Amino acid sequence: MENKPFLLKPAAKDYLWGGNRLNDDFAKGIDMYPLAETWECSTHEDGPSIVASGEFEGMFLPELLRKHPEFLGEHCLQNPYLKDGELPILIKLIDAKKDLSVQVHPSDEYARKNENALFGKTEMWYVLDALKESKLIYGFYHDIERDTLKKSLENGTVEKYLQKVDVHKDDVFFIEAGTVHAIGAGTLIAEIQENSNLTYRMYDYNRIDKNGKTRELHLKKALDVVELKKSRQPRQPVRLLRYKKGQALELLGRCKYFQVERMLLNTEICRELAELSVDGSSFQVLLCIGGCGLMLYGANGSMQFFKGDCIFVPANSVPVKIHGNAQLLRVSC
């Protein structure tokens, strides 16, 4: 059997802070409001993706990967913490119409010891769009004592300690496990993270959910894992474009969990299609964040893709070429 690329259909989440831009801007066609997140490439039990094209259309992604673990590639197959059918990462689109809660995520070690989970949550954000006044929370302005933080969370004064950062379209932010953070209102984000849904909510502005209740906080666990030292003001990484025929690539971020590149595709300026480099080391995920194109693979396979589409390219895939004018995020492990 040949390893061929295929489209994914996302799981959707209706968290109270969401809007409708994922439908309006990305044509998701999901009957849900608010539509806060789409889990574009996910094997997590809380929202697995579904194969949306090819011979495995209709299968849940983890079911397919259990059947064909070779799609993952050597790096994943050597990971002792991965269960059958699991990816080490999760890729989301996030529409923050309102402020998200102030939260923190645990490390792998804490998750394995205290949550019976294999992964904590380190994540990276790529800002697709933001309002002029949009901000995010990233760490603390100064070192803070645990007791001081605890009291400020209990009496609702924690905001004065939280470092607020301006957000602009095309920004990149890397959020390590333990960093207190929150996405601000008016921000549209692509998030690449570890395969985890562990979030410890610290502060939620006393908001009421659709059932008329305040949302649960997780103060004890949050205080166990949060980094109390001052956070440096996040700086945008130096980004260099590498040009190939019909495309340019820039590295947005790399850590031990994932690598994320932005691909600028424009085969209108050359007579040859752009080639996608694939090998046996890792699967790749292509998330189209602008424009559209055509993917050609193998002897006669083809697939159109549009803004908002997510394509899974198995390790050791048949040869892949791309034609069009588009921006894509390329994620590998």
Catalytic residue numbers read 201
Cα 290 to Cα 90: distance, rounded to the nearest angstrom: 20
Cα 91 to Cα 120: distance, rounded to the nearest angstrom: 15
One-letter identity of residue 174: F
| Residues 260, 237 contacting (CB under 8 angstroms) | no
Instruction: Give the per-residue SS3 of 38-81.
Output: EEEECCCCCCCCEECCCCCCCCEHHHHHHHCHHHCCHHHHCCCC
| Residues 132, 201 contacting (CB under 8 angstroms) | no
How is residue 217 written in tokens?
A: 């906080």
| Residues 198, 111 contacting (CB under 8 angstroms) | yes
How is residue 128 written in tokens?
A: 């697709």
